[in-house]
Structure 1
Amino acid sequence: MVSIIVPVYNAASYISKTIQMVGAQTYKDWELILVDDASTDGSADLIEKLIAAQGKRIKLIRKKVNGGPAAARNAGIGASSGRYIAFLDADDIWKPEKLEKQVAFMEKTGCAFSFHSYEFGDEEANPTGKIVHAPKKLTYRKALSRTVIFTTTVMFDTEKIDIEMIHMSQVPSEDTATWWRILKSGFVAYGMDENLAIYRRPKKSLSSNKLVAIQRIWFLYRNIADLSVPEALFYFGGWAVRATLRRI
């Protein structure tokens, strides 16, 4: 079974479609765990109505205090019962065959950690034609110079990786920090070069986004990867080139 973890914060405009999208997956052995992170827009009440109409494979965890996506995902992981853990953000899109193809890929390769290609979408999740291709394999050192692993594409096999390793730390870019920690321990991430998801990109200031991204990657280099300044600058150069090309 695949346990699908979705952090929910003020996602009332998306969550109904998210639940329908999971229900439309061609792979049917799943549970959906929605963790409401103290939303103020009625997301949790809407989810409860949808659960009442669609069955018990959907679980809702209500958090009383907003703790951010890392804490929300960790709560979902703690409540999971599936062999496989998959992450999905409430505003992103999975193609119907995503779970079926990724589980088959993991069974074929025997990997513990997989991810796949994805496509950028606009604020309505309309595909833009810009696809980020997943490399066949990603080691720790290679991962330092490319943030190519998109959370909504990740799946873990908990029979091969300790579930405690999947829990995320409360740091900026908690997802990337988690992938690095896992890869640094010796695991290799296996990439499936097939576009099975759309990353919705809301309208925000591009200059502001770039500044935040730079601050976060530098924090990760110095505080998570424990790189020296020269090492951090070396990997930052590779990251900057790839990040720019990915968005052109």
Structure 2
Amino acid sequence: MKNEPLVSIIMPSFNSSQFIDQAIQSIQKQTYDNWELLIVDDCSKDQTVPIVKKISVNDSRISLIVLEKNQGAAVARNTGLKNASGKYIAFLDSDDRWLPEKLQKQIDFMEKKNIAFSFTSYEFIRENADDPKKIVHVKDKMTYKDVLKDTRIGTLTVMVNRELTGEFSMPLVRRGQDLLTWITILKRGFIAYGIDEPLSEYRVVYGSLSNDKLTAMKRTWNNYRKHLDLNLFQASYYFTFYAFNALKKHYFEKEN
């Protein structure tokens, strides 16, 4: 329908040939079809680019941007943002997937309530198919201070109404730029509204940077102190809650 708002989906890629076709297919299977997919490749050395080119030949909604040199996920995402045309911005990494009704349910939710920022629950994709399923459930809403205490917002679930928030970009840090972006948006007074339904699938790759919990904690502390300019007392206060909630989310919440 002509009055359906356009969703710009940002997907950074780097040596993603093993899973990127699944990620793209999960977008193509969406019940909501007014979207554009901007894949920004960060100088892959494998077959990622040929795979994307082959798929995009038959789908004009998919655009490929190849960076001239490897610069990291933040630059890739910002490049996608600069080239995005949609009212709504969504993010999907090249090894994750969406369930078919993800976009439709989130758009309906945001349009009905004129929401600037939303996120949803998500499920882990395990390397071992016999592992029990695990869902990260979300709260109805989160403020700036809530997110400092609990980093439960999954990037693959986020949708931002850019007409309400204005233009935004991600800070140029190696890891954690997504969380810093959400915190920066919410610090301006916006509220993140949650849909407690798993509409995305996050792939757990053991041994990856994102799966290193100690590294994640060190990075979060550094972000609180250096990038958010929290003083020692503020950083310690919020980090205590963050550490507790991170451990709870990964190790103590009930498997499904």
Bin the TM-score by the shorter chain: over 0.9
Does residue 64 of the first structure (1) align with residue 101 of the second (2)? no
Aligned to 2:254: none
Q: Which residue, out of 91, 95, 119, partners 1:91? A: 95
Aligned to 1:81: 85
Pairwise CA distance, 1:126: 8.2
Aligned to 1:237: 240
CA distance in 1, matches of 2:95, 2:51: 15
Aligned to 1:189: 192
- The alignment's TM-score, normalised by the length of structure 2, stands at 0.91
- Taking structure 1 as reference, are residues 215 and 80 closer, same or farther at Cα in structure 2, changes over 3 Å only? same
Moved more, 148-157 or 229-238: 229-238
CA offsets, 1:103-141, max 9 Å, x none? 001012211111111112213788842211111111111
CA offsets, 1:127-164, max 9 Å, x none? 8422111111111111111111110000011111112x
Does residue 176 of the first structure (1) align with residue 176 of the second (2)? no
Percentage of pairs with the same residue: 46
Pairwise CA distance, 1:205: 7.6
Q: Which residue, out of 15, 21, 26, partners 1:10? A: 15
Q: Which residue, out of 213, 218, 233, partners 2:216? A: 213
Secondary structure, counterpart of 1:197 in structure 2: strand
Give the 4+ runs in structure 1 shifted more than 6 A.
124-127
Pairwise CA distance, 1:50: 1.4
CA distance in 1, matches of 2:105, 2:131: 20
Gaps of 5+ in 1: none
- The alignment's TM-score, normalised by the length of structure 1, stands at 0.94
**Are the equivalent residues in 2 in contact too, given 1:92–1:125 (CA < 8 A)?**
no
CA distance in 2, matches of 1:121, 1:177: 25
Q: Which residue, out of 153, 162, 169, partners 1:149? A: 153
Letter in 1 for 2:171: S
- Taking structure 1 as reference, are residues 103 and 245 closer, same or farther at Cα in structure 2, changes over 3 Å only? same
Aligned to 1:198: 201
Pairwise CA distance, 1:212: 0.6
**Are the equivalent residues in 1 in contact too, given 2:165–2:185 (CA < 8 A)?**
no
CA distance in 1, matches of 2:129, 2:94: 12
Pairwise CA distance, 1:46: 1.7
CA distance in 1, matches of 2:53, 2:249: 38
CA offsets, 1:38-96, max 9 Å, x none? 001021122111111x2211100011111111110111111111111100001111100
CA distance in 2, matches of 1:209, 1:113: 28
CA offsets, 1:9-46, max 9 Å, x none? 00011121222111110001111111111001021122
Q: Which residue, out of 112, 117, 126, partners 2:121? A: 117
